[in-house]
A = this chain, B = another copy of it.
């Protein structure tokens, strides 16, 4: 373990450096050659595939269907919705030449797809029978980043973006809420083991063109907040700009109410920063491409190690067998620790003689125990389940411990230097948000005092969560 610490910066000393070190040493990602882009390496991509599958299943359960819309959008589309174009203009990448010629109209690479999907919705929706229209796509998007940071803010990232159209504001709101709560929160809390606060954004922090933005905010290991997903009510703004209308049951022409919602590879950044420690990553079992690694210490243990791996696979555990006995055992163990594989099973000559294997639980400070071979499978299955919850609860305890209830903006500025502050939004207001901004703080989201979502715009008596953020 001492050896591991030496390859990573210590979290307490330099958290940003630790973050970059983990990404490099655990082989999660590299920088791409075009500024701000990233290469997602197989180990991190495996985590992403598990996130995708979990999100996709829940999105389909919520009735949305997958489709695919073009990467390239005519520049004029973005200009149709005033706030939207203002929000995205500085971030656009523009294709001006193609097929050896200058294009008549430049095309932008989608920064998000409200506009191009809005155009299709207008064609596909004729009557109330066509509503709700519930679409989702898995895609890459490009937003030119001035201060890129791997997974958190990259020029290109992968995400899903949902786009729906409804007959009423109430139905649109209910759907946007359902996605935030039943899809995003479920996956982020139960699979990634990351507790989140679900609330609404202030007007200042809303998505460009939205009338309401629901956000899921998580506390990172350094006390900062990371937005893990957002779900927007767009009112009739995009419906008006793209003429998304329908004939109602009584034959009237009406405008639809639309929503959009997204979650991205940024979640991987959250996973690293919530669960990682000075020895490297810690991946919750449900999100781990490799849940258990079985290490043969010597050649003579290879067969026993293979048997253990087979036994675990037979009960559905994702196992990797490490039989590289020509490489130093210590280096291999440290490497798996760095990669945050939840459980390590080590079997050496002495273990095998005693009929045991050493089980190392990475998520609980690498606690070690000798387990009789006959009890190995049930012991490990139980450990994976217990440690999934353990990791979540540990993160929740930190979030609770580092969140301070205060009553003035000045106190909020002080408390948010190391964690989160909560206080009544009524004492902040738009003027208070300006003051927070000067201290590099923002209102992350607003909740009612009972933890539920606000319903009215400008509702009084709301609690604001104030924090530094990524």
Binding site for B on A (CB under 8 A): 30, 32-34, 37-42, 45-46, 48-49, 65-74, 77, 89-100, 106-107, 109, 116, 119-120, 123, 135, 139-140, 142, 144, 146, 155-156, 158
Contact = CB atoms under 8 A, between A and B. Distances in A.
A156 B71 contact: yes
Contacts of A38: 70
A92 B96 contact: no
Given A33-B77, A67-B40, A156 B99 contact: no
Contacts of A71: 37, 71, 109, 140, 142, 156
B100 A158 contact: no
Nearest to A32: B70
A91 B96 contact: no
Contact of A66 (B42, B70, B120): B42
A345 to B, nearest CB: 22
A21 B72 CA distance: 25
Contact of A73 (B34, B95, B96): B34
B32 A72 contact: yes
Contacts of A94: 95-98
A98 B111 CA distance: 12
Given A65-B45, A89-B100, A70 B30 contact: no
A98 B89 contact: no
B65 A46 contact: yes
A414 to B, nearest CB: 35
Contact of A144 (B39, B67, B91, B99): B99
A146 B91 CA distance: 30
Contacts of A70: 32-34, 37-39, 156
Given A40-B69, A45-B66, 11 more contacts: A33-B119, A34-B73, A34-B107, A42-B67, A45-B67, A71-B140, A72-B93, A91-B99, A93-B97, A94-B97, A109-B109
Contacts of A96: 94-97
A31 to B, nearest CB: 9
B33 A116 contact: yes
A449 to B, nearest CB: 41
A426 to B, nearest CB: 38
Contacts of A93: 72, 95, 97-99, 107
Contacts of A144: 98-100
Nearest to A56: B49
A97 B93 CA distance: 6
A67 B42 CA distance: 5
A136 to B, nearest CB: 9
Contacts of A99: 90-93, 144, 146
A96 B101 CA distance: 13
A71 B42 CA distance: 17
B66 A39 contact: no
A68 B89 contact: no
A32 B77 contact: no
A67 B90 contact: no
Contacts of A123: 30
A140 B48 CA distance: 17
Nearest to A105: B34
A135 B42 contact: yes
A72 B156 contact: yes
A30 to B, nearest CB: 7
